[in-house]
Structure 1
């Protein structure tokens, strides 16, 4: 039996991380400071040359190529290759990437997914660099390593063999962000050779600092479709891989490559014939080579899809991206990998939930080992430190706990090998409930645990002293309408539970660009990038600049054309409510509400106590509903999410304005100026 006070004793001497290696306090890889080095080069009129990752075969790695080819490697700067090079042209896209000679599809599949999620991309790829201003041959990129965000500095000399890129090459000849980012990742991992084969799961974590879970497609969980839809909706990074370790890069007749990693770029349920079909969108890091079966670019299945959805979803180009059914997805691929800052891909079934995280770092030591190839739960529990967590008193509808254990090799190790690591989960009676072991960098699994107190016991099978990172994610179903944050997709990375209620502040400050308020243009960017969560919701239309000016005027209490943090907090709460109502009432997942669904949405959004019209009396006033559908809907009277937000904000604002002016009466008297002031600005 674990004593009630034992948790404190067992945790003494163990580090529970705080600001170490945070985005506000980046670790400098090799102690190189980007700004200082660039300023030094600019002051001396020199181009940076990185002595810690030199233009030498040691940076390539001794075993990637035969010795004669290693000696033929040439290093060239983009300014030597192109007259007018750019870091980024017209934004960052997965279609900018084409795999080179190195077998790094695992890393490029993760990178392709990163390009879809700006909340992570803006961290990895800093904007304070380029070839046009303050160019000095130096660039930097950020990666997450064992609990720390690390800033990696490189020079821009790229390896070529026989005139061809050795590493990833851009589809556009004068756009260099893919090649430079991959060079920084190669430096972080020691050499380009260390990118030749690897784990997609590792790359997903390194690019996000998140938690990843692997799902076997040969023995899939019963709720695989729900996991895919939840992952897509909550903006997770996703990838998948095919089997065939001995037959790598062999393309089958159906277009699928064996022993290869892909990016999952979407999961959408669409109306097909007389029913619904979940289809998966997948991208090949080669930049070409696609599935040739059902739902491929020219397949007849698309003839049975409504034209506007077909036009929105289908991109008929040989760019490596294709759709396939969920059934074919499970047949052709072996593993699905999903990653996010919190396990939002497990949120299906729970409409309102957040995730908290506890994090611990320490060294493996002999006392942590259970003995080579000998998993002894009783011995491990009796000798190893234990980490306690409490599952709240509510019946879990879906998975509510995720445990992630990661091993870190010593930095001076040559050719590091993974230990077989894992963990036990015990209850207060020391009974071992779960155990997971694997010969990978990290072991992560998800559980449905009943209310109670549990302990996690890290363990390894070998007596070696390595650092490890343990993270415990736990679902909290404590949502209410006054919560100051949207569901967890937009939470900042590694946010402790006590800081989650300030997440809307982080979003505000990101788009305010260090200012104290946001204007209509900044609000438009925020709404389109943060609020529109999935492709089907986006089908209803994006937030236009004009609609954002209208939203701003309805929530601008100071009438100065800008939103302060306090004003934005009120809008954030409204958006939270509207998002949940829209998702609930859009029962066919079309991305639109018809008139009848709009009626139910209004009844859910506007308190009947404040406005009796929108309760029992609504049925007698269908004219108002039709006017709303005419004003905010498309030609068929259907309302997308962005227009629904505009409609509901105006409806609620005007409703409460009337109530305040009427003071309980059914009529109000206003001067012409009062009326014009009310209707012309709001």
Structure 2
């Protein structure tokens, strides 16, 4: 049994350029993807380093990768004469006391601007209801008060990885009004800044003008989304809605009318528009029960005027206590309506969560869901999704096997999600029609309908047995795909390859966060303002090595501290300021956490294999040659590395990695320690070296610098 899935109905279509995903070829490769500890840096921009550099120089950050220029708006969003009237202003230029967040985040903080991104704002409105997801997207280590430098960052999930997007806080205005989303409260700026970060991720504000709410829900959670047609709804729609609300899912809905977008009907419903589903309830009404749905309009105003709307007579027949708990009689864009009217007025329902808990309705057991993730590359040779499909052709495509051990014939137990991502650097890439087949042990094929969308997802009730998923496309074009297979675990709590907790921890352990770094710094600082290499050595050996495990490998030497200081000293004066030390402190506490997890036998040392795991946990890439060099340079006679040497190694490796990546992409580099690497390219190119040759030489140089 399968639920039919068709294209989302948002405001038009959108090509969503994604961030880099490590490509793994193979037939049965399962990856631990989307780690909350392994956040990728979009455009290789490190928030902490950039903020520290700006603070030390007394400058406000200006993002050259997403500048205050019409190129960031997009050439076709507005007529040319209006496009060049846009002004960019920082919140500090608009108000004396701007705030990032006031009294928590809420959907009522959001009011859509001129850009047609209701699809994204509807998903964002739902996100604010689910606090377990909010901190994933909106890190709290930023604001307009302490350490303000005009720089902010937000996180989004892209094709299996969390991506940290850095922006400056210059916002576009047209004729004195926000071009983008504007907050209901004049001095609260998290909606405008988050929208800017998402626009940067997508390439421009123009690329937010029309899109799929289903894509935005996944980008904000890293979860699995399902779409239900309200014109041909599943028989259990009301139960699915209640289960989704109870299990803290994100929900949205949309109306049809691609040719009549933003047309408000007499009943208050807007055509071609996306909304947030904010609640579902079953209440006593007259002599029976009534299912009602609560919906919010991202415009921040404009509501349904029919039955169960604000002030409608239906509420007179509801118990006063229930009416008081549910009804909010304000023109804030939020309203109730019956489930019948919901199906009449809206076309599609979208539900998203870390796992498909919304399918657990009617289940009396304590069930859990597990997930397997696979990433691979589509090759034109492997295309099989033709109208003249032949069962024999399936064998030429990658097949991903899974086993269903048990099932309840009345509840869904398998969800398949297939997401397409075009190969990196492919010009003129387009969304392809994709789908998949599920084959049984006797080669019987359960065929999935193909859809012209980024993410094709379906749920099934499968009997016990072994199955294979065969991803397919209808076009001869090469690109990457991400396949996720969710399975319900019946009758036990054992999870294999389970999803990580949706909570995204801060970059450092809580006991080592900002509340302590200032006191440590001031205790060792010279006249309360800076510390030199000797003071840094005393500080590190006194504070960092208090832990028994990290102290087993020995303390920090003076030469090591001189090297660390050189890496973190943005002003190049041989001393660390408080802001520079803050960045170092965060890195060191992060490395302590990585070291303790990699040191499985608690010996106080990492062997070569544990070192490789630790480097990968830090989000860095290494190969066998570099790994051997690191073990020789930083390890003891047995090639074991203690924490102090590990910290020095990681700081240098991370710095040189960023230097090499920025150099390879032709970007300017603010790190003084990368000067030698930066000057290497012109000299090699002058010798007639090819790009491949130069890149290889620069990488070799980087390896030598790390190990020197």
Residue of structure 2 equivalent to 1:168:
181
Q: Give the corresponding residue for 2:219.
A: 206
For 1:459, the equivalent position in structure 2 comes to 472
Match of 1:497 in 2: 496
1:97 maps to what in 2? 110
Question: Of the candidates 56, 59, 64, which is equivalent to residue 46 of structure 1?
Answer: 59
1:302 aligns with 2:301: no
Q: 2:528 matched to 1:514?
A: no
Matched, 1:392 2:398: no
User: Shift of the alpha carbon at 1:508?
Assistant: 13
Q: Which position in structure 1 is the counterpart of 2:35?
A: 22
1:64 equivalenced with 2:77 (yes/no) = yes
SS at match of 1:69: helix
Q: Is 1:364 aligned with 2:378?
A: yes
Residue 448 of structure 2 aligns to a residue whose secondary structure is strand
Does the 8 Å contact 1:380/1:457 carry over to 2? Answer: no
Note the alpha carbon deviations across 1:289-344, whole angstroms, 9 max, x for none.
00000000110111111111111110000000000000000000000000000000
1:30-85 alpha-carbon deviations (Å, 9 max, x no partner): 00000000000000000000000011111111111111111111110000111110
The two structures, once aligned, show a CA RMSD in angstroms of: 2.1
Q: 169, 173, 180: which one pairs with 1:156? A: 169
Q: For residue 345 of structure 2, what is the aligned residue in structure 1?
A: 332
Measure the CA separation in 1 of the matches of 2:117 and 2:388: 34
Displacement of 1:413 in angstroms is 4.2
Within a 5 Å distance, the mapping from 1:168-207 to structure 2 comes to: 168-207=181-220
Bigger RCO of structures 1 and 2 (CA < 8 A, at least 6 apart): 2
Q: Aligned partners of 2:41, 2:503: CA distance in 1, in Å?
A: 26
2:145 paired residue number: 132
Per the TM alignment, residue 370 of structure 1 is displaced from its structure 2 partner at its CA by 1.9
Change (3 A) 1:21 1:33: farther
Contact 1:377/1:424, CA 8 A, preserved across alignment: no
* Pairs aligned (count): 487
1:624 alignment partner in structure 2: none
Residues 156 and 219 in structure 2, CA contact (< 8 A), matched pair in contact too = yes
Preserved CA contact (<8 Å) 2:229 2:348: yes
Contact 1:21 1:150 in 2 (8 A): no
* 1:445 equivalent in structure 2: 458
Normalised TM-score (structure 1): 0.69
Are the counterparts in 1 of residues 384 and 397 from structure 2 also a CA contact under 8 Å?
no
Please name the residue that 2:47 is paired with: 34
Q: Is the 8 A contact 1:405 1:444 kept in 2?
A: yes
State the 1:395 CA deviation.
3.3
8 Å CA contact retained: 2:414, 2:485: yes
Is residue 509–residue 515 contact of structure 1 (8 Å, CA) maintained in 2?
A: no
Give the match's secondary structure for 1:408.
Answer: strand
Cα deviation code 1:216-254 (max 9, x no counterpart): 000000000010000000000000000000000000000
CA contact (8 A) 1:110 1:238 kept: yes
Structure 1 residues 335 and 34: alpha-carbon distance in aligned structure 2, compared to 1, 3 A threshold? same
8 Å contact from structure 1 (residues 11, 385) kept in 2: no
- Match for residue 286 of structure 1? 299
Q: What does residue 248 of structure 2 align with?
A: 235
SS in 2 for 1:438: coil
Distance in 1 of aligned mates of 2:102 and 2:344: 37
What TM-score does the superposition give when structure 2 sets the normalisation length? Answer: 0.67
Q: What pairs with 1:399-414 in structure 2 (closer than 5 Å)? A: 399-414=412-427
- 1:277 and 1:234 mapped to 2: Cα distance? 21
Give yes or no for contact 1:400–1:475 (8 Å, CA) kept in 2: yes
3-state SS of paired residue (2:292) = strand
* CA-CA distance at 1:23 after TM superposition: 1.1
Alpha-carbon distance in 2 for matches of 1:11, 1:398: 34
Distance across 2 between alignment mates of 1:428 and 1:243: 41
- Distance in 2 between the 1:320 and 1:383 partners? 52
The whole-number CA distance in structure 2 between the counterparts of 1:229 and 1:267 is 6
- 1:415-452: CA deviation from partner (whole Å, max 9, x where unpaired): 53101110001101211123221000010011111111
> Are the counterparts in 2 of residues 293 and 299 from structure 1 also a CA contact under 8 Å?
yes
- 2:290 is matched with 277
Distance 1:51 1:369 in 2: 40
SS of corresponding position for 2:180: coil
1:374 to partner: Cα distance: 3.0
CA apart distance, 1:139:
0.2
Q: Which of structure 1's runs of 4+ aligned residues deviate more than 3 A?
A: 10-15, 410-416, 506-510, 512-516
**What is the distance in 2 between the residues matched to 1:62 and 1:411?**
23
Structure 1: how far apart are the matches of 2:124 and 2:369? 25
Cα separation, 2, equivalents of 1:162 and 1:447: 52
Flag the 1:169–1:508 CA change in 2: closer, same or farther, 3 A.
closer
Which stretch of structure 1 is more off in the superposition, 136-145 or 347-356? 347-356
